[in-house]
Amino acid sequence: MHEFKYIGNELHCETVKISDIAKKVDTPFYLYSYKTLLDHYYKLKKAFSSINPLICFSMKANSNLAVLRALIKEGAGLDIVSGGELYKALRIGANPKRIVYASVGKTDKEIREAIKNKILLFNVESVPELDLINTVAQKLKRKVDVSLRINPGVEVDTHNFIATARQDNKFGLDLDTVKFLFSNLKRMSNVNLIGVHIHIGSQITESHPFIEAINIISSFVDELKKDGVRLKYFNIGGGLGIIYREETPQTAQGFAKAVLPYLKKLRLKIILEPGRFICGNAGILVTGVLYIKDTRFKRFIIVDAGMNDLIRPALYDAYHEILPIVESKFKSQNLEKADIVGPICESADFLAKERPMPRLESGDLLAVMGAGAYGFSMSSNYNSRPRCAEVMVIRGKFYVVKKAESYKDLVKGEIIPKVLR
């Protein structure tokens, strides 16, 4: 469910006509619905209300400050993966005691900053990382709380690039290593091992892989209990899938119903790290048609958004629905297959392939749906294209929440050495 709907003949974001926004903001731009964002957060919060979990929004999905601010105002915590994300989180006034930090490659500097800022937990992914956290904590004369990320080794039906719990993935620790670490706690004078973490992958539409993973962790936690180890946290990660095409993902309620019986038995504080579920359908990419190019083989609809703006189709062959801002464009005509492509010099620069589309013309506006997660956050300056603007509709008004970059921004920080002058 989301708040991008046709009212009359025109696609709206909540009550605001998208074509009106496009009169003020150059395309391409990302457009977010505040209401959809909050609705999804509350769907999850309500579904899990019986255990009152800490919901840490995974900010890699969308780290726009306004998006983050909207969520933390409602009590969300944040799942971070870098010093940059910590910086942004603190900038918007996030409570460090609601920040958890994953990533397989935390640097010395990042660890120091996170300890100094007193985040809730590190999700540790390797033994040398744990050693480094211990050393840094020692130097800072602090004792820090740590969860160990366990790779439960479950198969997940999703794109290979976003499955993270197979035995041969780089993420997390295997159970034997985790057991070893818990039984050799003494050598870690400055860390408290107080939790376990999993994140089995992304865009998962069924509950059974979660249940399988949770069961593996539950038996493990029981074993630890027998050995006298008391944990406080179990972080079940993110990964809840959304509808891009014809998926029938579990609802927040369905997911909660499936996993709650297992989670309740554990009697631990549960942490969730949803990203896509909260912001995926809360955002679209608005793009303008530049040219229609008919070749002997194909029709190309060339638009002003490229793979630098939205890389998901190029990287994962991801499907995003593409809607005309004016609905009658689609309804009144015979549709013909076309590739919707960007201006970038790569054949992978497409938003859709072989998509039934009406006859469009230069200046028509299109909405690339489901672009709120891993859209802007994965954008780049490839082909020296400034990153586009981000806009949010809040209670009937729209706000530019990030200005489009300028050409000047493109050269920021670049230096021509004297010898070349």
Question: In this chain, which of 240, 256, 365, 367 binds ligand LLP, going by CB under 6 A?
Answer: 240
Q: Is 273 in the site for ligand LLP (CB under 6 A)?
A: yes
Residue 336 beta carbon to ligand LLP: minimum distance, rounded to whole angstroms: 29
Q: Is 27 in the site for ligand LLP (CB under 6 A)?
A: no
Strand 54-58 to strand 269-272: parallel, antiparallel, or no bridges (unpaired)?
A: parallel
Q: Beta partners for 366? A: 287, 324
For ligand LLP, give the closer residue by CB, 129 or 273: 273
- Residues whose CB is less than 8 angstroms from the CB of residue 20 and which lie 6 or more positions away in sequence, other chains included: none
For ligand LLP, give the closer residue by CB, 380 or 406: 380
Residue 54 beta carbon to ligand LLP: minimum distance, rounded to whole angstroms: 13
Question: In this chain, which of 16, 31, 102, 119 binds ligand LLP, going by CB under 6 A?
Answer: 102
Q: Is 199 in the site for ligand LLP (CB under 6 A)?
A: yes
Residue 315 beta carbon to ligand LLP: minimum distance, rounded to whole angstroms: 7
Strand 29-33 to strand 389-394: parallel, antiparallel, or no bridges (unpaired)?
A: parallel
Strand 29-33 to strand 16-17: parallel, antiparallel, or no bridges (unpaired)?
A: unpaired
Q: In what order do the strands lie in the sheet with 10-13?
A: 4-7, 10-13, 16-17
For ligand LLP, give the closer residue by CB, 300 or 319: 319
Measured in whole angstroms, how far is the alpha carbon of residue 302 from the centre of its chain?
28
d(CA 112, CA 122): 12
d(CA 410, CA 408): 5
d(CA 143, CA 148): 16
Between the two ends of the chain, the Cα-to-Cα distance in Å is 56
Residue 223 beta carbon to ligand LLP: minimum distance, rounded to whole angstroms: 24
Q: Is 229 in the site for ligand LLP (CB under 6 A)?
A: no
- Other Cβ atoms less than 10 A from the Cβ of 158: the count is 19
For ligand LLP, give the closer residue by CB, 70 or 102: 102
- Residues whose CB is less than 8 angstroms from the CB of residue 282 and which lie 6 or more positions away in sequence, other chains included: 2, 3, 32, 33, 36, 37, 40, 372
Using the rule CB under 6 A, give the single segment among 45-53, 247-255, 271-279, 323-331 that binds ligand LLP. Answer: 271-279
Residue 362 beta carbon to ligand LLP: minimum distance, rounded to whole angstroms: 30
104 closest CA partner among 55, 173, 188, 176: 173
For ligand LLP, give the closer residue by CB, 143 or 159: 159
Question: In this chain, which of 126, 134, 190, 203 binds ligand LLP, going by CB under 6 A?
Answer: 203
Helices (H), 169-207: 175-183
Catalytic machinery residues: 345
Question: CA neighbours within 13 Å on the CB side: how many for 116?
Answer: 11
Question: CA neighbours within 13 Å on the CB side: how many for 393?
Answer: 24
Residue 346 beta carbon to ligand LLP: minimum distance, rounded to whole angstroms: 18
Residue 331 beta carbon to ligand LLP: minimum distance, rounded to whole angstroms: 31
d(CA 394, CA 157): 36
Q: Is 238 in the site for ligand LLP (CB under 6 A)?
A: yes
Size of the site for ligand LLP (CB under 6 A): 23
For ligand LLP, give the closer residue by CB, 238 or 358: 238
Query: Is residue 106 helix, strand or coil?
Result: coil
Using the rule CB under 6 A, give the single segment among 3-11, 88-96, 236-244, 401-409 that binds ligand LLP. Answer: 236-244
* Positions in 337-376 near ligand LLP (CB under 6 A): 373-374
Identity of residue 16? V
Residue 55 beta carbon to ligand LLP: minimum distance, rounded to whole angstroms: 11
Residue 82 beta carbon to ligand LLP: minimum distance, rounded to whole angstroms: 12
Q: Is 47 in the site for ligand LLP (CB under 6 A)?
A: no
Question: In this chain, which of 58, 82, 134, 308 binds ligand LLP, going by CB under 6 A?
Answer: 58
Question: In this chain, which of 2, 312, 385, 387 binds ligand LLP, going by CB under 6 A?
Answer: 312
Strands (E), 226-371: 233-235, 269-272, 283-294, 299-303, 322-324, 336-341, 350-357, 365-368
d(CA 377, CA 266): 35
Q: Is 239 in the site for ligand LLP (CB under 6 A)?
A: yes
323 closest CA partner among 286, 354, 359, 376: 286
For ligand LLP, give the closer residue by CB, 342 or 372: 372
Question: In this chain, which of 16, 37, 61, 114 binds ligand LLP, going by CB under 6 A?
Answer: 61
Strands (E), 125-216: 144-149, 191-197
Using the rule CB under 6 A, give the single segment among 110-118, 237-245, 281-289, 334-342 that binds ligand LLP. Answer: 237-245
Residues in contact with ligand LLP by CB under 6 A are 58, 60-61, 79, 102, 162, 199, 202-203, 237-240, 273-277, 312, 316, 373-374, 378
